[in-house]
Structure 1
Amino acid sequence: MTRDDDRPRRTAWKTSAPPAPRLARIRDRWLSAATTALQDDPLVAGAALVGSLGAGRADDWSDVDLLLVVKDEHLDDYAVPDRLPRGPGLRAFAIDARHNGPVGTRAVSAQYVVDDLPLWVDWYIHPVSLATWPPDSTVLFDRHGITRSLSEHRGDHEPATPKTPDEHKAMRLALIPIAAKQLARHSPDAPRTIQFLGGSPEGDWPDHLAAVRQLLTQFDPLAHPESLAAAHAYLDLLETLP
């Protein structure tokens, strides 16, 4: 017979995250500054929030998904992270993520560190000739009269670009706060993300948090110091929650 103490522990997954107003304030500050910079750029025809922020489903832990529409001839210019607004703080990580967008578009995933905490931003860059606003989006500004589509795009995506070993390692480090965010939400995705990052998906919430902490020990503090410090600060914030 199996005793209760020998049975695998199960997590009671919840449906909402606890408040984290500091994260929301950081995100709002960054987004306000980035939006102003985009509006001041005459080559940007429009910008919209997509994802949970655009659809009005965001919580304090939500990241930023920004869709930019630019003149066709400048599409690749905006696939370079240095061309995108940095907002307050600094950019600790950025990678070509065009495989997340439809053919003929570009995308960049980036982590910014604001007030010592990380903020993940997915940039989607579309040329004017292919642009429509997704149905679940909030348009920030539109200088071109772009139409709103009736459905999400379901076509082919751009092929992924090759990544170096250092880029892969930097991306894994930047994704650790994503796993922590899933833990904050008590999401069933958390163990899968932890496993993807190389940690153990077994156990309960405290075990998952310990696994994420353990993942940070594999990174050289001198290689990506801002991203590493921000990940530690994010986990410290997570541990203060009820």
Structure 2
Amino acid sequence: MVQRLARRLLLALVSIVAMVPALADHGAGAAERRLPVADDAPPWLLAVGRLAIPTSRLEAGRRRHYDERCSGTLLAPPDGGDAQFVLSAWHCLEYYTDLSRAIRFELTGLAGEVLESRARAVASGGGMAADWALLELNPPIPAGLGGTAELDGRTVAAGARLAMAGFSGDPGLGAGGAQLTYDPACRVTGTSGADRLTDCLAYKGASGGGAFHGGRLVGVLSRGDSRGRSIYVPAARFLPAVSRRLR
């Protein structure tokens, strides 16, 4: 009797231990707050597209050529009409030196089609201390075909909820940069110099993507640690320069 009871207790203990890894795996998966952006998403989410920037830099004494992959947000024209300006991050353009090679912008249209255009940088913060850049499209995205975002220069208070969107290059939900994803439930947690610190989850490739509050674009994703710490440049820092171009 005692031996049978001991065996049952041992089996119960083994069963409990065997469940621990499964619970741990479930918990790790639950930490993934991002969602894929589908064709029926709000237009302000569909305003985020992909940039392919021809880049050349020296590495170990040899010149390497490759496409820098970043994100950018198509801005809504203030008076309607075609959309011709994309907001992104300066560091995405840092090694773009061969101006004969075109920057490419790709956006999923409101009907699910792929919209493509060439882009050229027309304004920027000039460095990581002001990590934003404005690009002009040629040709523009025709009115009504692509989602656009309204730029909002108001300060977002600590604790306020954000949505941060971009083409993260992680092999999971981001599909190596092929899938637009967003973190719908992150928050502003403080400041990082003149920029805003958040607990939003994003990976390399989402740089230049949008930080949205109430459906309006409040900043450009600059940098992060891919573990739930992301920093964006507030729109207030570049709103005057961008507004001059939009007009």
Same-fold call, TM cutoff 0.5: no
Structure showing greater Rg: 2
TM-score, normalised relative to structure 2:
0.26
- TM-score, normalised with respect to structure 1: 0.26
Q: Which has the higher strand share?
A: 2
